[in-house]
Chains A and B, each alone.
Chain A
Amino acid sequence: MNVRVLILLLWLPLQAAAQGFAGLGTDGAGFAQTDPDTRLQFPADHGAHPDFRIEWWYLTANLTGPDGTPYGLQWTLFRSALAPRDGQGWETPQLWMGHAAVTTPDAHFVTERLARGGIGQAGVQAAPFAAWIDEWVMQGADFDALRLRAAGPDFAYDVGLTAVGPLVLHGQQGYSVKSAAGQASHYYSQPFYQVAGTLTLPTGDVAVTGTAWLDREWSSQPLAADQTGWDWFSLSFDSGDKLMGFVLRGDTNYTAATWIAADGAATALPDGAFTATPLADHRVAGRTVPVEWQVTLPEQGVDVTVRAINPDAWMATSVPYWEGPVTIAGSHAGVGYLEMTGYDQ
């Protein structure tokens, strides 16, 4: 994905003098900088990059219950470094934050965890792959077969993920530009997971199947100072094709997108190729948030209406945002996920 949220980060210190959403536009001096010549190496790059300021492992899934009810699932691990170094014990500057959510057509369950690196409470290792915070885990022998678990006070889930397609590198070989001024991140995805497992909800256990999309991204300054939020779409069409696109809202909007063919072939699209226009707003948590969009990508003949399955999918976390499953209608049909940040009260 792209500019996936990253929140926390530094919530208190940076918010005072924050630039961009959640401080993501703050100068990353002292940290490693993104480089267009970097070539991603696997499995090493599945692991953490502590020299970069922020990083995330971001999984969203569109699921269906036995009765056809659509569900959304989110599992996210954020890493945020207070200083460009690693370390053991409590002294480490590496902080971790987990968000887990389940969305049903009429309910949205969210919970958050925070942890310090260095004591084993949270972390990521590349191979065999494991990402964890507290008892929440995403792990497996390799990146293509993972088990995913999380729980909150009122919900839990335990699902298996099996990749049926290749990793997809966004932008230029995984170097994804975020603004006309050149802010960028390293960004790749695994959008081809098949999912099967169980959701535990207040009403009982639900067996679910569906698809999931995992985003990996790291940077030290992904946003330009004037960029205050973004609208990000991951769309899976019934044809098997997929589309990742985002609008970064600033003094002038910046868009980027990746067209992913059913066989995994990726085409990066330049600023302006992808458009997203709000069609209907919704009041949630004291904010007005667009929950119905017209999304176009003329190059691929895409002109669709994207609609939230549950418009109240508000993430009431340390840094709040909207994240939830969507349905797609129009030139293409399908399901996907929508993330919207920077909608202030």
Chain B
Amino acid sequence: MTGTIFAALLGHWRRNPLQLITLLAGLALGTALWSGVQAINAEARASYDAAAATLGEGNYAQITARDGGVIAQDTYVALRRAGWIVSPVIEGGLGSVRVVGIDPLTAPGGVGPIGTTEGADLGAFLAGTGQIFGRAETLAALPDTGAQEVLAPDVAPNTAIMDIGVAQRLLGRAGQIDRLLVATAQPLTQAALADVAPGLAMAAPQGGSDVARLTDSFHLNLTAFGLLSFAVGLFIVHGAIGLAFEQRRPMVRTLRALGAPLGRLIGLMAVELAVLAFVAGTIGVALGYVVAAALLPDVAATLRGLYGADVSGQLALRPAWWLSGLAIAMGGTAVAASGALWSLARMPLLASAQPRAWAMARQGAGQVVLAAGLLAVAGGLAIWGHGLLAGFGMLGALLIGGALALPPLLAVVLRIGQAQARGPVAQWFWADTRQQVPGLSLALMALLLAMAANVGVSTMVSSFRLTFTGFLDQRLASELYVRAADTAQAEEVVALAGPVVDAVLPILSVDRKIAGFPAEIYGARDHATYRDNWLFLRSVPGVWDALARGEGVLVNEQLFRRAGLDLGTAVTLAPGVALPVVGIYGDYGNPVGQVIVTEAVFRAQFPDVVALRFGLRMAAGKVDAVRTVLRDQAGVAEAAMVDQAAIKAVSLAVFERTFTVTTALNILTLAVAGFAILMSLLTLAAMRLPQLAPVWALGLTRGRLAGLDMVRAVVLATLTGAVALPLGLALAWALLAVVNVEAFGWRLPMYLFPLDYLRLGALALLAAVLAALWPAWQLSRTPPAQLLGVFRHER
């Protein structure tokens, strides 16, 4: 009997292939967007993990030179001989590849490829020409070094790992070390660091990769996008399943009347759905892979340019990723189908199978209450919520509440429209539109979510761009930035550039703990460059004068939020030296705190710190000439000089790529939503025939009816768009002002982009019109005999 029931159930899909396609396509597209975005995120994160594991960043305290320069190898040996269990690391560039040299004998556990890679040969790594570990594309990019190249997929992208001896030779830096990793376990007896190496300073472990924290912001955007896309897909699936079940009610009734047990019937339907979900999920994961593979190079380029984070441009198929894609497709189907199965289980055996019960069931006071409740929860969380979880909870409540509120809102607007209507056709149009809303509501909700997501994410990305470029203007006020290799070169730079440029601004910094948080202290010269360009989030009157007199400090937003250092709070710079906060500035993307003091205070507190970095102010036209002088006469490496224009160009190019990614995702989600509308309209078309036939019989031509259908699609899309705009803006606000602050400690100012929204609205309208086109055309070609048939018999 099982086989017979199953055949009967499958018969429904055979007779309604369109519904089957809707179901599969909706689920597959939703899964594709979700898993595509997840794939990009997973790939990027795996890259950071490899980077963190390779370099031990985050897990180990590190010792670096106070002046930011190199550590002499003799100092390293002196530290070891004084009881410091430290391990040397040297870093540099070889061509475009980042070279990292380590000492495997002293490296703390888990650092470097030795010991983690099967078949590693310590002898070959250390002796002779050495070995270089890296990914295939990294090894291919290396110039010929003479060393043996070893394929190691776990090494961070664009990074080549080798013995420190080999690295020093390849980089031409014999006897030099950049930093020391400090092992967790140190011996009982140990000399003080200051006694052995007064020029070095130790920084505590960071508990997470800098790069990962920076780029989390970008991933959050993508994840939000993925989640919204899946929500859109879920609405489509919900609609398709609900419809399919509704239409099969007569069949279920017949089967049960013939003796099929309810339990088995429901079980078989569940199995059927599981199979469909599996098929759709598999297609979706495959599509997601295509989406990710197409977008990943742009994302990788974005991250590399924006944060210096190296992410491989190649996609790996990670089991966790495609399994989660399948799981979410199956889970989504289960959620969407549970209600339908439940109502089927409770259906009285002999209940008449009302054909439009499904369509009408969606209305009601319950939904209004639920929507209002969810929106209230979102509002409450926005005001009183704390933590990232509350932020995401708020996002969820906002979206679902907004979506659920759409049909009642539409109903109200349409009722008003009907009241205003004059003439029978107009009145019929409004009434008929109202009557169609329940059937279209799920598709319209999908469109709403798609548009809101697009408005939200576009606003966020664009705000980020504006903020960041503004921030660059503020921070990169000097025309040229120069990093000297040592004190002698620094003096030469000052001597050579001083007479030629308008100002030489030394950049002095030390790493210290401020109020218990890792922070950098900067010494700034009192100069118009700062006064003219810097903007404050909060400041006391006459902030620059107070700073220049040494009567206060500036702190960045991160420190202000984390340590609660508001205006007037005293900041302890060194034992016995505390100055009040006079200004708080935005410092986007920086994971650590920052304190700025005036140059005189800095030099008094940290007399050992020598400025090796300088900002040079000059007319823009002079930059190239000054560069040449510094390169030829002071021997400053080309890479050690960065001009402002170049940095800005790179940053802007990066944002262009970000927009490519965002635009591509925008269009994809709108396409998914448009598809949902098309499917709903096609399904409704058959049901609406009994309502259209009398109107046609009264004299409205088929062409006129089709035209009215197109108008209806435009009206509904416009109304949905009008609701989507505030929802999207609320979404953007939640992402920028709540989630970002909770996640990263800084708030992105929100900017509005009316033209972008207009363009998005036009796109949504286009999607709706395209979706309505085919059903309307079909209507205009409906044979009169079919319309007449309505009067011949009830359906």
Question: Which chain A positions have C-beta within 8 A of B163?
Answer: 90
A84 to chain B, nearest CB (A): 12
Could you say which residues of chain B place their CB within 8 Å of the CB of A89?
165, 174
**Interface-lining segment among B182-190, B299-307, B355-363:** B182-190
Selected from B114, B127, B166, the residue in CB contact (under 8 A) with A93 is B127
Instruction: Out of B80, B121, B174, B187, name the residue touching A115 (CB < 8 Å).
Output: B80
Contact B168 A115 (CB under 8 A): no
Residue from B120, B165, B189 in contact with A12 in the complex, judged by beta carbons closer than 8 Å: B120
CB < 8 Å neighbour of A134 from B83, B127, B164: B83
Interface contact A200-B188, CB-CB below 8 Å: yes
Answer whether residue A10 sits at the interface, using C-beta atoms and an 8 A cutoff.
Answer: yes
Which residues in window 118-157 of B have CB below 8 A to A? 119-124, 126-127
CB distance from B574 to the nearest CB of A (A): 30
A114 with B106: CB separation less than 8 A: yes
- A250 CB to closest chain B CB (Å) equals 26
A12 touches B188 (CB 8 A): no
Interface of chain B residues 490 through 523 with chain A (CB within 8 A): none
Q: C-beta contact mask, A170-187 vs B, less than 8 Å → 1, else 0? A: 000000000000000000
* B73 is an interface residue with CB less than 8 A from chain A: yes
Residues of A45-101 contacting chain B, CB below 8 A = 82-83, 89-91, 93, 95
- Whether A153 is near chain B, meaning CB under 8 Å from some CB there, is yes
Pick out which of these stretches binds chain B: A116-124, A265-273, A309-317.
A116-124
Question: Do B105 and A115 have beta carbons less than 8 Å apart?
Answer: yes
Residue from B119, B168, B186, B187 within 8 A of A90 (CB atoms): B168
Contact with A along B79-95 (1 / 0, CB 8 A): 01111010000000000
From A11, A93, A132, A200, give the contact of B126 (CB < 8 A): A93
**Chain B residue with Cβ nearest A155:** B188
Q: Are B81 and A121 in contact (CB under 8 A)?
A: yes
Taking a contact as CB atoms under 8 Å apart, the answer to whether A152 and B188 are in contact is yes
CB <8 Å contact, B83 and A135: yes
Residues in chain B near residue A153, CB distance under 8 A: 185-188
A-B contact count (CB 8 A): 80
B189 lies within 8 A of A10 (CB): no
Query: Across the interface, do B185 and A91 meet the contact criterion of CB distance under 8 Å?
Result: no
Residues of chain B within 8 A (CB-CB) of A16 are 119
Residue of A89, A90, A91, A93 ringed by the most chain B CB atoms within 10 A:
A90
Interface range on chain B: under 10, 10 to 19, 20 to 34, or 35 or more?
20 to 34
User: Contacts A13-B121, A95-B105, A156-B187; is A135 near B174 (CB within 8 Å)?
Assistant: no
Closest to B120 in A: A12
- Answer whether residue A125 sits at the interface, using C-beta atoms and an 8 A cutoff: no
Among A266-310, those with CB < 8 Å from B are: none
- Judge if B349 is at the interface, Cβ distance under 8 Å: no
Q: A121-B80, A134-B83, A153-B185 are in contact. Are A91 and B127 (CB under 8 A)?
A: yes
Interface residue A151 (Cβ < 8 Å from any Cβ of B): yes
- Whether A11 and B188, one on each chain, are in contact in the complex, defined by CB atoms closer than 8 angstroms, is no
Are A119 and B187 touching (Cβ within 8 A)? no
Rounded to whole angstroms, the CA-CA distance of A316 and B398 in the bound complex is 57
Q: A111 touching B187 by the CB < 8 A rule?
A: yes
Q: Which one of B77, B80, B115, B186 has the greatest number of beta carbons of chain A within 10 Å? A: B80
Asked if A251 is at the interface (CB within 8 A of a chain B CB), the reply is no
Whether the Cβ atoms of A121 and B77 lie closer than 8 Å is yes
Q: Is the CB of B105 within 8 A of A114?
A: yes
CA distance A10 to B83 in the complex (A): 25
A116 touching B105 in the complex, CB below 8 Å, given contacts A135-B82, A155-B188: yes
The docked-state distance in angstroms from the alpha carbon of A13 to that of B190 is: 33
Would you call A200 and B122 a contact (CB within 8 A)? Answer: no
List residues of B (186-219) whose CB comes within 8 Å of A's CBs: 186-190
Chain A residue nearest to B129 in the complex (CB): A91
Whole-angstrom CA separation of A156 from B190 in the bound complex: 11
User: Which residue on B lies nearest to A89, using beta carbons?
Assistant: B165
Please tell me if B103 contacts chain A, counting CB pairs below 8 Å. Answer: yes
Distance A114 CA – B105 CA, assembled complex (angstroms): 5
Evaluate contact between B164 and A12: CB separation under 8 angstroms. no
- Nearest A residue to B124 via CB reads A13
| A115: B residues at CB distance < 8 A | 80, 105-106
Considering the complex, which residues of chain B in the window 49-99 have a beta carbon less than 8 Å from any beta carbon of chain A? 73-74, 77, 80-83, 85
From residue 134 to 178 of chain A, which have CB atoms closer than 8 A to chain B?
134-135, 151-156
Chain A contact-residue range equals 20 to 34
Task: Determine if B103 and A116 form an interchain contact, defined as CB atoms under 8 angstroms apart.
Answer: yes
Q: Find chain B residues with CB under 8 A from A95 CB.
A: 105, 126
Which residues of B have CB within 8 Å of A83? 127
- Contact: A156 with B189, CB < 8 Å? yes
CB pair B123 A10 closer than 8 Å? yes
* A135 to B79 CA separation, bound complex (whole angstroms): 9
Shortest distance in angstroms between B453's beta carbon and chain A's nearest beta carbon?
52
Per-residue CB contact flags for chain B residues 273-307 toward chain A (1 = under 8 Å, else 0) read 00000000000000000000000000000000000
In the complex, chain A residues whose CB is within 8 Å of the CB of B190: 135, 151
Within the complex, which residue of B103, B185, B189 is in contact with A200, where a contact is CB–CB below 8 Å? B189
Whether B187 lies near A13 (C-beta < 8 A) is no
Are A90 and B81 neighbours in the complex by a CB distance under 8 Å?
no
| Contact A116/B186 with A13-B121, A95-B105, A151-B83 known, Cβ cut-off 8 Å | no
Pair A90/B164 contact, Cβ less than 8 Å: yes
Given A13-B123, A82-B123, A89-B174: A156 touches B188 (CB 8 Å cut-off):
yes
Q: Are the CB atoms of A151 and B185 closer together than 8 Å?
A: no
B50 to chain A, nearest CB (A): 21
Cα–Cα distance between A125 and B725 once the two chains are bound (Å) = 80
Nearest A residue (CB) for B126: A82
Q: How far is the CA of A152 from the CA of B190 in the complex (A)?
A: 10
- Give the distance to chain B from A53, nearest Cβ to Cβ, in Å: 12
A12 B80 Cβ-Cβ under 8 A: no
**Complex Cα spacing A151 to B186, Å:** 9
With both chains docked as a complex, state the minimum distance between the C-beta of B118 and any C-beta of chain A, in angstroms.
10
In the assembly, what is the distance between CA of A120 and CA of B175, in Å? Answer: 12
How far is it, in angstroms, between the C-alpha of A172 and the C-alpha of B126 when the chains are bound? 37
Q: Which residues of A contact B165 (CB under 8 A)?
A: 89-91
- List, in ascending order, chain A residues with CB within 8 A of B74's CB: 120
Smallest CB separation, A236 vs chain B (Å): 29
B residues in contact with A135, CB < 8 Å: 80-83, 187, 189-190
Closest to B121 in A: A13
Q: Closest CB-CB distance, A150 to chain B, in whole Å?
A: 8
Q: Which residues of A contact B103 (CB under 8 A)?
A: 90, 116
* Chain A residues whose CB sits within 8 angstroms of the CB of B105 once the complex forms: 95, 114-116
Residues of A within 8 Å of B164, CB to CB, are 90
Cα–Cα distance between A238 and B185 once the two chains are bound (Å): 40
Q: How far does the alpha carbon of A121 sit from the alpha carbon of B73 in the complex, in Å?
A: 10
CA distance A12 to B116 in the complex (A): 11
Within 8 A of B (CB), among A313-329: none
**B residues within 8 A CB of A155?**
188
Q: Which residues of B lie under 8 Å from residue A154 when comparing CB positions?
A: 188
Q: For the complex, what is the distance from the CA of A111 to the CA of B77, rounded to whole Å? A: 19
- Give the distance in Å from the alpha carbon of A145 to the alpha carbon of B219 in the complex: 65
> Using a CB-CB cutoff of 8 Å, which residues 616-647 of chain B contact chain A?
none
Chain A's nearest CB lies how many Å from the CB of B109? 12
Contacts A90-B168, A120-B81 given; 13 further ones with Cβ under 8 A?
Answer: A12-B120, A90-B126, A90-B165, A90-B166, A95-B126, A116-B103, A121-B77, A121-B80, A134-B85, A151-B188, A153-B185, A153-B188, A200-B189
Q: List, sorted by A's number, 22 A–B pairs whose CB atoms are closer than 8 Å.
A: A11-B122, A12-B114, A82-B126, A89-B174, A90-B103, A90-B168, A93-B126, A93-B127, A115-B80, A120-B74, A120-B81, A121-B77, A134-B80, A134-B83, A135-B80, A135-B190, A151-B83, A151-B187, A152-B188, A153-B186, A156-B187, A200-B188
- Residues of A near any B CB (own CB < 8 A): 10-13, 16, 82-83, 89-91, 93, 95, 111, 114-116, 119-121, 132, 134-135, 151-156, 200
Can you list the 10 inter-chain pairs with the closest CB atoms, starting with the nearest? Answer: A90-B165, A151-B187, A135-B83, A114-B105, A153-B185, A12-B122, A13-B123, A156-B188, A82-B123, A151-B189
